[in-house]
Amino acid sequence: MVKELQLRYGTNPHQIPAHAISKNDNLPFEVINGDAGYINLLDALNSWQLVSELKKSLNLPAAASFKHVSPAGAAVGVPLSDDLKAAYFVADIDLSPLAVAYARARGADRISSFGDWVALSDVVDEQTAQLLRREVSDGVIAPGFCPEALDILSKKQGGRYCLIKIDDSYKPPEIESRDVFGVIMQQKRNMTVANPDDLRKIANDPGKIPDDAIRDMVVALTALKYTQSNSVCFAVDGQIIGIGAGQQSRIHCTRLAATKADLWRLRQHPDVLGLPFRKNLGRPERDNAIDGYLRDDLSHRELSIWAESFEVTPNRLSLESKADWIGGMKRISMASDAFIPFRDNVDRAAASGVEFIAQPGGSIRDADIVEACNDYGITMILSGFRLFHH
């Protein structure tokens, strides 16, 4: 370990020099392959906290796919269905629980995860390394790498792939600082950690919440803690399926998260799973082709380029077929990093199968939000804590 690390460059290539400096003892991590940039470290240190907290809260291996200091996906190692294996392009390989967690995290929004930073809660095993080897990403942070995984990943990108080993026993100082425009601001770190016991205060239904819904809300709330605010997250089956980050309006967060959740669901449609891709078409190109297949706004030029991805141009899904398939979404959990101010958020969430909502509460319209949830049979949980992240 060292006290100071020279970085490749800052937020942009012209921002040189750039360094990472420990305020106390040595840095709590070691770059064991490649080199890191400023954004790499922001993604690595934020995503590591996310997966570390998920592992502690749920006692399952956890993974995150980070882009631009927000998660594109996060998940724990819940077994995959055959359809999800096909949708995530992992039906052809064996997956350990840690590899499953990353397949889920990457599968939430594969377009956004292109070129991601990866965080893994456990020592990287060979199966996870084999999965990482074939995806386009910038680097990985984890508490360690088994010898086989280190050998595989140190050869990725011609030896430039960034591997960071984090000291998982490290505890940062209680007070954190930020330097903005020559002004240093300090605050107490956000040490609130979502766990199942926090999610028992039901605002509108005295019944018991299913354990899988509690798990999914923990995943969603933990992801929100490390997502640029405002933010809303949809989760199911132990993983994020849609996240709306950095929007100035709560309803725009909800719409964005719901739209991504709808696309996640559509990727599992039988017609999508059976698309006749051209031979040797790479996974990123297949992701782009699926995205084009599901869009309704392609120009004539875009359509002609898109069609080149297939052996035979497929018939496109009708709006009715999409609506029917999305209508099959069930048991979705939604979490909001701050209180829900208007019922339009609930109206949009219900259209994408949301049955459970976790939010801090505290709006003057809380009664209206409860009434909206009652209209749809949605259970609303009051967490009591806000999770803004900037």
pLDDT in tens, 234-264: 999 999 999 999 999 999 999 999 999 999 9
How big is the chain by its Cα radius of gyration, in Å?
21
Helix axes 250-266, 283-294, angle to 10 degrees: 110
CB 380 within 8 A of CB 199: no
Domains defined along the chain, listed by start:
4-166 (3.40.140.20), 190-266+326-382 (3.40.140.20), 274-316 (1.10.287)
Q: Give me the amino acid identity at 26.
A: N
Catalytic-role residue among 46, 230, 288, 345: 230
Residue 205 in this model has a pLDDT that exceeds 90: no
Residue 15 in this model has a pLDDT that exceeds 80: yes
Catalytic-role residue among 14, 300, 330, 390: 390
Percent of all residues in the chain with a pLDDT value above 90, rounded to a whole number:
91
Mean pLDDT of 295-306: 89
Dig out the tokens for 150 from the structure: 């280190």
The Cα–Cα gap between 262 and 227 comes to 20
Known catalytic residue: 390?
yes
Known catalytic residue: 300?
no
Contacts of 153 (CB under 8 A, 6+ apart): 33, 124, 129, 132, 133, 140, 145, 161, 163
Residue appearing with tokens 């030896």: 159
Catalytic-role residue among 68, 190, 204, 374: 68
Residue 4: burial class (beta carbons within 10 Å; 0-12, 13-18, 19+): exposed
Known catalytic residue: 230?
yes
Contacts of 56 (CB under 8 A, 6+ apart): 193
Residue 349 in this model has a pLDDT that exceeds 70: yes
Q: What is the pTM of this model?
A: 0.96
pLDDT digits (tens, 9 = 90+) for 88-137: 999 999 999 999 999 999 999 999 999 999 999 999 999 999 999 999 99
Catalytic-role residue among 67, 165, 269, 322: 67
